[in-house]
Structure 1
Amino acid sequence: MPVNQTLANFSDLSFKTAFVIYCFALILSIVFYVKQTGVVDSRVKAKELVGAGGPNVVEVPSDSDFARREASAEKFAGMAQTMIWLAIIIHGASVVLRGLSASRFPFGNLYEYVAMVTFVAMVISAWVIQRRELRAMWPWVLTPVIALLFYGGMKLYAASAPVVPALQSFWFPIHVSTVSIGAGIGLISGMASLLYVLRMRQPVGKEHGVLGAVLRPLPSAQRLDSLAYKAAIWALPIFGLGVMLGAIWAESAWGRFWGWDPKETISLVTWMLYAAYLHARATSGWKNSAAAWINIAAFATMVFNLFFINMVVSGLHSYAGLN
């Protein structure tokens, strides 16, 4: 079936527009982050002054002063949140138009897969991080997403076209969409675990040095760990289901459920790491920080599978569309 070039062009334009809006949202979220850092610093200094009898010498900011500063910071948080939702809508339009342009599901190459995974990650992030106490996480979430979109648009881009014959299957949209959703949730879980590890070294109220100043607005380590755990609870079964559906498809396409193809193998390793993380996280003998490293390893393995296996290693899943 011929490609509708008009829809393909609109998809490309939507992708670029979403990327630009995400960048503006990142700038706004950084401004909020800096302002929120100032608010936290002021509160800490005020407590130190009060504890040392400071009010007799230096005027300590009142609660209304702190409220005014927080309100100023929240304005930028609200603007960032609005920009993010706008970018998500345009990002989603890019994915849908890409599929409509070729009359197929938009998972036919690595460029489309990156667009889909980042879209899922942003939808879930926007739903979770809209809570006030988590808004400081936006710069940490937007940065890797923008980096993925930039790399996808610059290095992985492939023109809209029908998929190769091997992907023309009933199982194609089911398998890839399930894996994409699991990977998107895994991205959130991995980032939360990474921030948790950093926060454990810089507890709330005890931050020190340059790293402490950078991490000060973030939620507590307990809240970050809880977010990582809850996201992994969803990522494990969804990603595992995607692997199972891929095995069923492999049996119908290649006459076997499993062949230790590089992508199959690394996907299984990733799923096992998520299972190990949840097991360690729920076992009393494990420290949460040690379990978090397993989750970070799962995230790193997923990224390795996404790029290195698709782009460097030759296998039955070499459909990156870069040639």
Structure 2
Amino acid sequence: MILAAEPGLADFGKLLVYSAMAVYTVAFLAYIAEWTFGSRSKVARTAAALGAGAPPGKPAAADGDAVRVTVRAAGGSTRVLTRPRVITRSATPARDGVPDGPGAAGGDERGDTYGRIAVSLTVLAFLLHAGGVLLRALAVQRAPWANMYEFSTTFSLVAVGGFLGFLAARRNVRWLGLPLVTTVLLDLGLAVTVLYTETDQLPPALQSIWLWVHVSLAIVCGAMFYLGMVATVAFLLRDRYEGRLADGGTPGRFSASVLERLPSSVSLDKFAYRINAVVFPLWTFTIIAGAIWAESAWGRYWGWDPKEVWSLITWLGYACYLHARATAGWRGRKAAYLAIAAFLCFLFNYYGVNMFVDDSLHSYAGVED
């Protein structure tokens, strides 16, 4: 029995998504304020001075050749940060002694206050966002990810949920807040304008329990792959910064104040690798679940449909990345480029195939002309 859709609930759900976008916007401004005021902290200035004062060719500092910086945190407490005089390039596995930066988690009291406000606003926006997705599900009486609008809103919800989950686990990931919220705003803006569709029922091929399994796993995998991609890009930037300091170069004011606040390149590399390594088996099962669903809906497990092909290409991309990470000669930047290329394949599989490929059986984009 197919239940009728409830347009009123869908409209209210869309209003909640708009409300979430408004709160995400304020959170975006708070993250900007955090990075702006935190970048003026003593930590950033000291890092810049250390990088600028290191003569070319000087070897890495010994444990005793370091500067101790006392930073006042909220509430009057203090903490001591140790910075080597010359930062080694931590992309090399043997050089992993570079300490993490504050990770946009402080630096000075004012910057830390804005950061806490930003996270609180992100939690509020996440709750409104989740309410919008839930009401869409109640309105259509099915899983709320059968077209591009629904997939996009759920995708960004899971990405924010992953970020907040890492924060709850006390991971140094507050630096993710600014790029994440920026992307979420772009994703939701595209969803409510270009991709929005009215409530409708599913075509017969999608009326299956595999909608809950296959597509939900694709959303979770994509959201986590996205967080890993952001960490990979941050790794490339931080690794270049550390390498320049190790070579005796003088970083610009922006590099010294922003990139110094990120975790070390080793930490970023490990964070991205662990996400991709954990999610890869789930992506493998996602493809297998899709094949089982295809046999039930169309009578064959694999038909070289464009969506299937690009899912396989994405799988191969991440498989190459994980293999490269297990090979000493491909650690660091080369492997990072593979990870970014694999995520770009995922994006094309979602946007490109859905919007620009007409002969796909997966023609459920729902974009209205």
Tell whether 2:355 aligns with 1:317. Answer: no
C-alpha change, 1:64 and 1:310, in structure 2 (3 Å) is: closer
What corresponds to 2:155 in structure 1?
Answer: 117
C-alpha change, 1:7 and 1:203, in structure 2 (3 Å) is: same
Distance 2:53 2:331 in 1: 36
What corresponds to 1:246 in structure 2?
Answer: 290
1:291-310 mapped onto 2 (5 Å cutoff): 291-310=335-354
Q: What TM-score do you get using the length of structure 2 for normalisation?
A: 0.79
3-state DSSP class of the match of 1:94?
A: helix
Q: 1:265 Cα shift? A: 0.5
Tell whether 2:148 aligns with 1:145. Answer: no
The match for 1:280 among 298, 321, 324 is 324
Tell whether 2:121 aligns with 1:83. Answer: yes
Contact 1:204/1:216 (CA < 8 Å) preserved in 2? no
What corresponds to 2:252 in structure 1?
Answer: 209
Distance 2:51 2:145 in 1: 56
Q: Deviations over 1:90-149 (max 9, x none)?
A: 111111110110111101100100111111111011122464743223112222222111
What corresponds to 1:56 in structure 2?
Answer: none
Contact 2:162/2:224 (CA < 8 Å) preserved in 1? yes
Contact 1:18/1:91 (CA < 8 Å) preserved in 2? yes
What corresponds to 1:58 in structure 2?
Answer: none
Q: Find runs of 4+ consecutive structure 1 residues off by over 3 angstroms.
A: 44-51, 62-69, 129-133, 204-207
Q: 1:6 Cα shift? A: 2.1
What corresponds to 1:197 in structure 2?
Answer: 236
1:139-178 mapped onto 2 (5 Å cutoff): 139-178=178-217
Q: What TM-score do you get using the length of structure 1 for normalisation?
A: 0.90
Q: 1:204 Cα shift? A: 8.6
What corresponds to 1:29 in structure 2?
Answer: 31
Contact 1:28/1:76 (CA < 8 Å) preserved in 2? yes
Q: Which runs of 5+ in 2 are unaligned?
A: 55-68, 77-106
Q: Deviations over 1:24-56 (max 9, x none)?
A: 1111011111122111333336769999xxxxx
What corresponds to 2:45 in structure 1?
Answer: 42
3-state DSSP class of the match of 1:2?
A: coil
Contact 1:182/1:234 (CA < 8 Å) preserved in 2? no
Q: Deviations over 1:160-190 (max 9, x none)?
A: 2212222111211211001111111111011
Q: 1:228 Cα shift? A: 0.5
Distance 1:185 1:263 in 2: 20
C-alpha change, 1:37 and 1:247, in structure 2 (3 Å) is: same
Relative contact order: is structure 1 or structure 2 higher (C-alpha 8 Å, sep ≥ 6)?
2
What letter corresponds to residue 292 of structure 1 in structure 2?
A
Q: 1:155 Cα shift? A: 0.7
Q: How many corresponding residue pairs?
A: 313
More helix by share: 1
Q: 1:303 Cα shift? A: 1.0
Q: 1:215 Cα shift? A: 2.5
Distance 1:147 1:129 in 2: 23
Contact 1:204/1:220 (CA < 8 Å) preserved in 2? no
Contact 1:25/1:80 (CA < 8 Å) preserved in 2? yes
Distance 1:202 1:270 in 2: 30
Q: Deviations over 1:286-311 (max 9, x none)?
A: 13211011110111111111111100
C-alpha change, 1:245 and 1:42, in structure 2 (3 Å) is: same
* Stretch deviating more after TM superposition (284-293 or 244-253): 284-293
Contact 1:190/1:298 (CA < 8 Å) preserved in 2? no
C-alpha change, 1:47 and 1:287, in structure 2 (3 Å) is: closer
C-alpha change, 1:47 and 1:175, in structure 2 (3 Å) is: closer
1:84-103 mapped onto 2 (5 Å cutoff): 84-103=122-141
What corresponds to 1:4 in structure 2?
Answer: 6
Q: Which runs of 5+ in 1 are unaligned?
A: 52-61
